[in-house]
Amino acid sequence: MPISDAHLARVLAAYLRRTPAEAAQLTVPMRLLSDGGGFASRSAGGAIAATRAR
């Protein structure tokens, strides 16, 4: 199942609640996710990689 913009936005928002000092660095991805332009889509031309912190 592909990852959606909505899912990424929820995960990123949760991350920023835990690490608010990084919010300024992540404004562009947050804006792109909220615009709903298919940021998570493979056809968007970008690559997204994520790992779970241990």
Does the residue 17 lie in any domain?
yes
> Token pair of 50, please?
């994520």
Q: Which of 19, 26, 23 is nearest to 48 (CA)?
A: 26
Q: State pTM to two decimals.
A: 0.65
Does the residue 53 lie in any domain?
no
Does the residue 54 lie in any domain?
no
pLDDT tens track for 7-32: 888 999 999 999 999 999 988 888 88
Does the residue 51 lie in any domain?
no
Q: What is the 3-state secondary structure (H, E, C) of the chain?
A: CCCCHHHHHHHHHHHHHHCHHHHHHHHHHHHHHHHCCCCCCHHHCCCCCCCCCC
Structurally, the chain folds into a number of domains equal to 1
Residue 49 pLDDT class (50, 70, 90 cuts): low
